Structure 1
Amino acid sequence: MSMSPHPRNFLLLFFTYFPGLIICADVTLSSIEIFTTHEWLKPTPDVYFSCKGDNKIHLPDIKKAHVFYSFKGEESWQPLTNFTGKKCKRCGFYEQDKILSDDVFDEWELCPSDFTAPDGRYIHFKEKEFNASLLCPECLSFYAGVSVSAPAAVKHKKKGLNVAVIVLLSVLISTVLILGMVGAYKFWQKKKREQDQARFLKLFEDTDDIEDELGLGTII
């Protein structure tokens, strides 16, 4: 039973060979576990993610500490942020405070170069605060064919993509050649039929001329 390739693989393939065409690389939250809450007056923490200059992305599913939350990347509040180039962003996880200033789980420089795992994953851990896993597969395209320190798994995947492209081009070329040969054969058949019809008509014309010369025309 054949399995269809994941859409992310097509995106990675496209952006690897056409990096200049990339518009946006989305960062999504794959999983998170908070180890503490900072707001004592609220039983349920109001956790959010934010980068400098971006809107707050509230995470309504996070309701308790020491609970592992995983996400599909398709939630209504996703993505957390996005990159349009290699420039880093100052981002962090926070807990909203109704009275005082918001509490900070951690704040750091988030960069496209952080997402170096084969699937574009980046794990950020802050002791006694949280452990989060972020995804940005399209971030790999920013460094396609440039980074010399990429993990072996990424290099192996790129090699596999090169083979896939060669196979795809071979299939396309073979298909074009076959279609061209079929078209040429049909064209030859058409021309042959036209030539046969022309010879057949010419034969009748020659016969009529001979009959006229011999006076053997039809007598009415």
Structure 2
Amino acid sequence: MVSRWNSRVSVILFFCFPELLLSALVTLDSIEIYTTHEWLASTPTVYFMCNGENKTVLPDVKKTNIVYKFRGEESFQPLTDFHSRKCKRCGIYEEDRIKSDDVFDEWEFCPSDFKTSDGRYVHTKGKEFNATFLCHVCVQKDIMSSDYASPDDENEHGINWSVLIIGLSVVSSTVLLVMGLLVGYKQWQKKRRQKDQARFLKLFEETDDIEDELGIGPLSSSI
């Protein structure tokens, strides 16, 4: 019964709040690096990474001033994905064998960056690199809107979703508890009635046995 209720809640959340369950994949369409930072390595190791996620090495990006184009089907794709409107802190880096990795650039990577109809977003950093990212789902109506929420509104909405989910969990638990109590009470009433009936029948049987032992029969038999 509990699993069935949870399934119904998930269906309701999916239709009412699709942005809570939607995954918007981000792929790399093209990149061109203008410089490298690792002097000892013959070829650089360039990678993309968002805070709290694994690094994605770009194996083909080895030379400067060459535009590398991708189809979105490469083994390293996708780079990341968005599950809400919240931004991520991401960047493009170069591995360093001696000290900490070099930074091409770090920035706030947001679903709202993808504003073109084909879901493209171009990010350029001075004399470092130029990259084009793709996110087709980010420009769909379900996850994006023209009046994009501010950070304060986003925090407030996030709290509201949390309160809603917690409220639904509490209500579902309360309903299940009440239903369990009602079922238990009805079973207790049924067993009590059965015991009362059995006790009543046993009382009559004992009365008949006593009358037989004393030779006292019904009035109709003595007339």
- The answer to whether the superposition gives a TM-score over 0.5 is yes
Structure 1 gaps of 5+ residues are 1-17, 150-220
Instruction: Give the TM-score, by structure 2 length.
Output: 0.56
Shift of 1:142: 5.8
Identity within the alignment, %: 61
Mapped partners of 2:88, 2:20: distance in 1: 21
Equivalent residue number for residue 187 of structure 2: none
Mapped partners of 1:142, 1:83: distance in 2: 15
Mapped partners of 2:91, 2:106: distance in 1: 4
Shift of 1:27: 0.5
Mapped partners of 2:134, 2:21: distance in 1: 17
Equivalent residue number for residue 32 of structure 1: 31
Equivalent residue number for residue 76 of structure 2: 77
- Pairwise mapping of residues 1-220 of structure 1 onto structure 2 (< 5 A)? 19-20=18-19, 22-141=21-140, 146-148=145-147
Contact 1:85 1:142 in 2 (8 A): no
Shift of 1:80: 0.5
Structure (1 or 2) with the larger CA radius of gyration: 2
Mapped partners of 1:111, 1:145: distance in 2: 11
Q: 1:71–1:145: structure 2 CA closer, same or farther, 3 Å change rule?
A: closer
Shift of 1:57: 0.1
Q: Which amino acid aligns with 1:109?
A: E
Structure 1 vs Structure 2 CA RMSD: 2.2
Deviating runs (4+, > 6 A) in structure 1?
none
Q: 1:60–1:144: structure 2 CA closer, same or farther, 3 Å change rule?
A: closer
Output one character per residue of 1:44-74: Cα deviation in whole Å (capped at 9) or x when no partner.
1000000000000000000101111000000
Mapped partners of 2:116, 2:79: distance in 1: 19
Q: Which amino acid aligns with 1:111?
A: C
Instruction: Give the TM-score, by structure 1 length.
Output: 0.57
Q: Which amino acid aligns with 2:27?
A: T
Q: How many residues align?
A: 134
Shift of 1:21: 7.3
Shift of 1:147: 1.2
SS of aligned partner of 1:118: coil
Mapped partners of 1:96, 1:148: distance in 2: 39
Structure 2 gaps of 5+ residues are 1-16, 149-223
Mapped partners of 2:144, 2:124: distance in 1: 29
Mapped partners of 2:129, 2:144: distance in 1: 34
Contact 1:37 1:45 in 2 (8 A): yes
Mapped partners of 1:147, 1:35: distance in 2: 34
Shift of 1:22: 4.8
